[in-house]
Chains A and B, each alone.
Chain A
């Protein structure tokens, strides 16, 4: 039941936000609803981790619509977590922009709808319904990406929508073929579990076609190379809290849908799903690592890092074995929390210097120590420096890869990660510590020509603090419930 409440809450919040009350009504409603969702999701995750594999089931006729198991609960929790931090960050960020009230209400309406569509992805049990919800995420976030209404933002939104919908149409074809394969295998209820049960009897051609189409189609939306071209644009042009949501959890949620297919492919004889995953993942990591070296815009840099991490997760799943699966789950968690933190840091930096170009930002530490500290922390975090969360997860993936004797793949992965580390830290270093070229006022900023330090809004600083805590903690120690949840998730993956 609580799952249904989780789904209904953002819809209620959307409706409430439209009521014309005082200025901070919309923001407050959103924060409260996200907090409640976090509590409920946490409770659901706790229940799942202690062994109840299904916490809520909704059956309508022959359809089993909603079911939550280990993997779903993990993703649900992550979405809720990033949702609340992004909501708190939005309060300060949006207030700083001095928007007219209608536009602010529009932002929060879209925000809540977006959260709703993302929350629905892990809980739906029937693949075609999952497809519908995936489309909904694209549509609900389209207006968020184009929120600033500049030429680049509109171009980014257009590219995002067109490429995502194109991928979704291919995925629809894949899901229909999957349904046909299930019918050919003798029928049954069309849910993720039903698919795993029917997999051995499915005609291999149909199963492989469906897998490929869904991989390519949803891979477009998850940011896998070579379909990733929209991702740097969309994830950099959106407002920063939206970027955190998009990069942090939305791509992860789409990857979750792809990952759901792997137990099905495993149960069918003679499938090469893992090879595909490994190759595609490595290609993504490599391309992203090299592209990171020549970015001109620091939000794009973080967006490329998202592509890289999606590749790492997919490659980890492709390495096979439960240890690699556990590593992949760990990587999902650490990536979500670290990437959202990075975008909060980028948002703070943007508030301080009002430009996205790396070349135009120098000596940020003088202007805004909070933003620069956050950028350094985020940069170190996302590229896998110890003792932060991503280091631990990448280490476990690499170790699992070596155990599996995929020496070449693991070696390549390590090399690409190191290249990305250099790329990101080089840029951030220049931004934070670089000496200013000449003593003129910084390029595009007339407002702060007299001030040396920008004061970030309180909620932004609060978010940065709140979001930094898990990143740091998970680098040392994984709490027992989380460990159980991760194990459950990995088990659901390699079943």
Chain B
């Protein structure tokens, strides 16, 4: 592996990570639910690309396996499962209200990304020089941005996508610092992701059926001081 090829691979990996960060921002701000899903698919493909590039760079076949697993499960099976389990008409909608307006949530997401870079510094210093690269900070940023999406969005499917983004972020860090994790374990984690989607889809369908709307972020009737238990009418 010549020096220039190595540098090219490093740069391509950095590019994949940079675009990963961008898609995470997009998921925070995107209004259309279908757009969120598409961005998530692109993000998973970028994760697979990063894994493949890292595998090429460090000659680790196990990372190729990770890439393959990611390519198969997330872009293909996740949307299919979602379509099967959650009600179909939510994909044609736009999410009208979020907890914050979009420019504000984008600015906060930016602050979180910068925070992730600062948090990653001590970790990068502790891990060997062979492991450096943008994966760790951007993985942590993915984790934080996914958590932020969870708090800001109100519709069911973007919430689910926020969860999956968190997992993607944890994975992006993982592939760069823990390279020899047995493949079977990675496969199991991927299957786990699928089960998450399945269960959440079923729950969303139940929510839609019994409450009438999938704006689950607005469900807030279980409180200590709640005087009237469930008299809020579901708004369509």
Contact = CB atoms under 8 A, between A and B. Distances in A.
Interface in A402-426: none
Nearest to A206: B126
B210 A149 contact: yes
A169 B181 contact: no
A170 B142 CA distance: 11
A162 B150 contact: yes
A151 B210 contact: yes
A439 to B, nearest CB: 25
Contact of A154 (B185, B200, B210): B210
A135 B224 contact: no
Interface in B165-213: 166-167, 169-171, 173-174, 177-182, 184-185, 188-189, 192, 195-196, 199-200, 202-203, 206-207, 210-211
A294 B224 contact: yes
B182 A155 contact: no
B72 interface: no
Contacts of A155: 216, 219-222
A169 B193 CA distance: 11
Interface string A146-157: 100111101111
Contacts of A157: 203
Interface in A270-307: 291, 294-296
A152 B210 contact: no
A62 interface: yes
A184 interface: yes
A165 B206 contact: no
Q: Tell me the interface secondary structure of chain A in the complex.
A: helix
A203 interface: yes
Interface residues of A, number: 51
B189 A128 contact: yes
A492 B146 CA distance: 36
A205 B123 contact: yes
Interface string A180-193: 10011000000000
A465 B56 CA distance: 64
A176 to B, nearest CB: 4
Interface stretch (A50-58, A136-144, A261-269, A334-342): A136-144
A163 to B, nearest CB: 9
B39 interface: no
B5 interface: no
What is the size category of the interface that chain B forms with chain A? 35 or more
A169 B143 contact: yes
B178 A135 contact: no
A395 interface: no
Given A132-B188, A205-B123, A63 B182 contact: yes
A233 interface: yes
A61 B150 contact: no
Q: Tell me the interface secondary structure of chain B in the complex.
A: helix
B103 interface: no
A129 B173 CA distance: 18
Contact of A150 (B127, B167, B210, B220): B210
B195 to A, nearest CB: 5
B231 to A, nearest CB: 10
B199 A132 contact: no
A169 B127 contact: no
A177 B181 contact: no
Contacts of B189: 128, 131-132, 172
B88 interface: no
Contact of A62 (B123, B143, B182, B188): B182
B192 A177 contact: no
A203 B189 CA distance: 26
A177 B182 contact: no
B69 interface: no
B178 A176 contact: yes
B150 A180 contact: no
Contact of A176 (B125, B159, B170): B170
Interface in A396-455: none
Nearest to A134: B192
A157 B230 CA distance: 16
A179 interface: yes
Nearest to A60: B184
A205 B126 contact: yes
Contact of A165 (B123, B196, B207, B210): B196
B167 to A, nearest CB: 5
A296 B182 contact: no
B170 A172 contact: yes
A176 B189 CA distance: 12
Nearest to A232: B222
Given A173-B173, A206-B126, A149 B206 contact: yes
A166 B150 contact: yes
A218 to B, nearest CB: 14
5 contacts: A129-B185, A135-B195, A157-B203, A158-B216, A173-B174
Given A61-B182, A63-B184, 16 more contacts: A132-B185, A139-B196, A150-B210, A151-B211, A151-B234, A152-B229, A162-B163, A165-B163, A169-B143, A172-B167, A173-B170, A173-B173, A176-B181, A179-B178, A183-B178, A183-B179
Interface of A: 60-63, 126, 128-129, 131-132, 135-136, 139, 142-143, 146, 149-152, 154-159, 161-162, 165-166, 169-170, 172-173, 176-177, 179-180, 183-184, 203-206, 209, 232-233, 237, 291, 294-296
